[in-house]
Structure 1
Amino acid sequence: MEVVLKYFSDFTPKQLDQFSTLAPLYREWNEKINVISRKDIDALYEKHVLHSLAIAAVAELPAGMQVLDLGTGGGFPGIPLAIFFPEVQFHLVDSIGKKIKVVEAVAEALNLTNVTTAHSRVEDIKNRKFDLVVSRAVAPLKDLWRWSKPLVKKGAPAERPSGLICLKGGDLAQEISESGCRPKMVNIHKIFPEEYFMEKFVVAVK
């Protein structure tokens, strides 16, 4: 938890309590359903929570926004972002049922009233539009954008985050070139100078 507090200090007591409850909750669930690799569970706050909050560090999400977390896995980046932005609505979707079961249990234990979930493939989401799609290392950028584009509301004000914001790592030159997108990239290591974030980026496509 210290690694999160090193970079963010203005949490309410409720948010502090929710963030500190994440470790025991995920430990307990991970023993039943493996949603986080065994070696990563000890570094949960750096590799999962702080990594997710890199999106909060580069994008201010105004109250009332509707955000889709595509391929949320164990709830990242959606759960940490939902704690960080309690006035924003998050819809966390994954095609693997047991992962969504964990996400639902975590959201309930934290009393996150701004989180809904669905056990679904992103292609099957119909009749819903979102202001923003977020995702973490789920698929190549061209696929993420192809899935996200039909789900994003059109005509967002220029100053408001819209489109897709994803967390990616490594050399992305070829992936970006194949996607046909012209994303804005932020090196996470510049925001959080921890060794783990050396080759990691926030990639935003409007």
Structure 2
Amino acid sequence: MEKAQEKLALITKYFGDFTPAQLEQFAALEPLYTDWNSKINVISRKDMESLYEKHVLHSLSIAAAFEWAPGTEVVDLGTGGGFPGIPLAIFYPEVRFHLVDSIGKKIKVVQAVSEGLGLTNVTAQHSRIEDIKNRKFDFVVSRAVAPLQHLWQWSRPLLKKPSATQHRNPGLICLKGGDLAAEISESGCKPTVLEMYEIFREAYFKEKYLLFVPNT
């Protein structure tokens, strides 16, 4: 129990006001992923040692930068094992998340973890993102390893149009690392770029960035 509290301290260091239920859900992430990862490898074994820093807190950088109203609809493009979607779904219980991946076994893990946590605001779909039709979202989020140009190309058809009542334009939010100058230039996009180290003062977050491309 002490070890779990120690790991949660990395999250509560930056975020307050969690309900006991949310803290329980965050604490349950490690045993759930450890169990499922032994059956279907979705997180490298090395990364499992730092699950809360490299996956959970990394995902929550979006929550630190964006405030989402209840009823907001978010699609997680290439969710893999459920990041950033599942930590964000714990953080925002009144926001609806749709987690999509083209690899069926990853979606199986996402569904099992969501059920294990008792999340009622998560749906999951085994699909290529470009095959999703007749649905629109407020935001696309992604940690998928794909160039920004492709992420924007896939995201744009899924985004709602801007409206005067919205606090912020719909758009793509993606998590990336390293030197992004060439990638941004090639994309033709003009994203807002936030340095994660400005949000989380942990060595791991140096040279990691959060990019937002609005659907204008």
Tell me which interval the TM-score lies in, with the shorter structure as reference length: over 0.9
Q: CA RMSD in A?
A: 0.9
The Cα shift of 1:2 comes to 1.9
- Cα pair distance change 1:51/1:8, threshold 3 Å: same
Q: Which TM-score applies when normalising by structure 2?
A: 0.93
Residue 193 of structure 1 corresponds to which residue in structure 2? 201
Paired letter, 1:174: A
Quote the residue 1:51 is aligned against: 58
Runs (5+) with no aligned partner, structure 2: 1-7
Amino acid at match of 2:102: S
- Pair 1:170 & 2:178 matched: yes
2:116 maps to which residue?
A: 109
- Within 5 Å, give how 1:85-96 maps onto structure 2: 85-96=92-103
Alignment partner for residue 71 of structure 1, among 74, 78, 87?
A: 78
Q: What is the match of residue 202 of structure 1?
A: 210
1:144 and 2:144 matched: no
Q: 1:161 Cα deviation (Å)? A: 5.1
Deviation string, structure 1 residues 72-115 (Cα, Å, up to 9, x no partner): 00000000000000000000000000000000000001111000
User: Which among 114, 119, 140 is matched to residue 126 of structure 2?
Assistant: 119
What's the counterpart of residue 41 of structure 1?
48
Distance in 1 between residues matched to 2:46 and 2:213, nearest whole Å = 32
Tell me the residue number matched to 1:98: 105
Give percent identity, aligned residues only. 68
Give the partner amino acid of 1:188: M
Q: Is the 8 A contact 2:79 2:144 kept in 1?
A: no
| Aligned equivalent of 2:4 | none
In 2, Cα distance between equivalents of 1:65 and 1:96: 26
CA-to-partner distance for each residue in 1:115-171, whole Å, 9 max, x for gaps?
Answer: 000000001001111011000143100000000000000024452252100100000
Residue 38 of structure 2 is aligned to residue 31 of structure 1: yes
User: In the alignment, is the contact (CA less than 8 A) between 1:130 and 1:151 conserved in 2?
Assistant: yes
**Secondary structure of 1:133 counterpart:** strand
The answer on whether the counterparts of 1:52 and 1:81 sit within 8 Å (CA) in structure 2 is yes
Deviation at 1:6, TM superposition (A): 1.1
Instruction: Extract structure 1 runs of 4+ deviating beyond 6 A.
Output: none
Distance 1:3 1:171 in 2: 27
CA distance in 2, matches of 1:90, 1:29: 21
Give, in angstroms, the shift of residue 5 of structure 1: 1.3
Q: Deviations over 1:167-199 (max 9, x none)?
A: 000000000000000000110001101010001
DSSP-derived class of the 2:93 partner: coil
Query: Among residues 159, 175, 186, which one is paired with 2:167 in the alignment?
Result: 159
